[in-house]
Structure 1
Amino acid sequence: MKFDFAGQRVLVTGGAHGFGRAISLAFARSGAQVWTCDTNAGGLTQTAVLAEQGGLPLRTRTVDVGDRAAVQALVAEVTADGGPLDVLVNNAGGVLGQVGRPIEEISEADWHALFRVNVDGAFYFAQAAAPHMKRQGRGRIVNISSGAGLGVSLTGIQAYASAKAAQIGLTRQLAHELGRHGITVNTVAPGFVRSNPTTERQWESYGEDGQRRLLDGIALRRLGTADDIANAVMFFASPAADWVTGQVLSVDGGR
Structure 2
Amino acid sequence: MSQDFAGRTVIVTGAAHGFGRAIAAAFAARGARVWACDRQAEGLAETAPLLGPNGAVRTVDITDRAAVQALVAEAEAASADGAVDVLVNNAGGVLGQVGRPIEEIDAAAWQSIFDVNLSGAFWCAQAVAPGMKRRGGGRIVNISSGAGLGVSLTGIQAYASAKAGQIGLTRQLAHELGAWGITVNNVAPGFVRSNPTTERQWEAMGEAGQARLLGAIALHRLGTVDDIAAAVLFFASESAGWISGQVLSVDGGK
The verdict on a shared fold, with TM-score over 0.5 as the criterion, is yes
- What is the TM-score when the length of structure 1 is the normalising length? 0.97
1:135-214 counterparts in 2 under 5 A?
A: 135-214=134-213
Cα distance between partner residues in 2 of 1:144 and 1:28: 19
Structure 1 residue 122 corresponds to structure 2 residue 86: no
Q: Give distance in 2, aligned partners of 1:69 and 1:241.
A: 31
- Give 4+ residue runs of structure 1 displaced > 4 Å after superposition: none
What is the DSSP-based 3-state SS (H/G/I as helix, E as strand, rest coil) of the residue aligned with 2:7? coil
Amino acid at match of 1:232: A
Q: How far, CA to CA, are the matches of 1:168 and 1:108 in structure 2?
A: 23
1:1-255 maps to which residues of 2 (within 5 A)?
1=1, 3-51=3-51, 55=52, 57-81=54-78, 83-255=82-254
- Judge conservation of contact 2:83–2:128 (CA < 8 Å) in 1: no
**Post-superposition shift, 1:3?**
1.4
Distance 1:163 1:57 in 2: 33
Residue type of the partner of 2:216?
G
Q: Distance in 2 between matches of 1:197 and 1:28?
A: 24
Q: How many residues align?
A: 252
SS in 2 for 1:192: coil
TM-score w.r.t. the length of structure 2 is 0.98
Greater CA deviation, 79-88 or 15-24?
Answer: 79-88
RMSD: 0.9
Please, which runs of 5 or more residues in structure 2 have no aligned partner?
A: none
Q: Percent identity?
A: 73
Instruction: Write the distance in 1 (CA, Å) between the matches of 2:184 and 2:32.
Output: 19
Instruction: Tell me how far apart the structure 1 counterparts of residues 139 and 50 of structure 2 sit (CA, whole Å).
Output: 25
Query: Could you tell me how far 1:80 is from its partner in structure 2?
Result: 1.4
Question: Separation in 2 of the partners of 1:196 and 1:73?
Answer: 28
Mapped to 2, the partners of 1:198 and 1:50 lie a distance apart of 23
SS at the partner of 1:195?
coil
Instruction: Give the Å deviation of 1:50.
Output: 3.4
1:179-199 deviations in Å (ceiling 9; x for gaps): 000000000000000000000
Structure 1 portions without partners, runs of 5+: none
Q: Deviations over 1:47-73 (max 9, x none)?
A: 01333xxx4532100000000000000
- Aligned-partner Cα distance in 2 for 1:150–1:244: 19
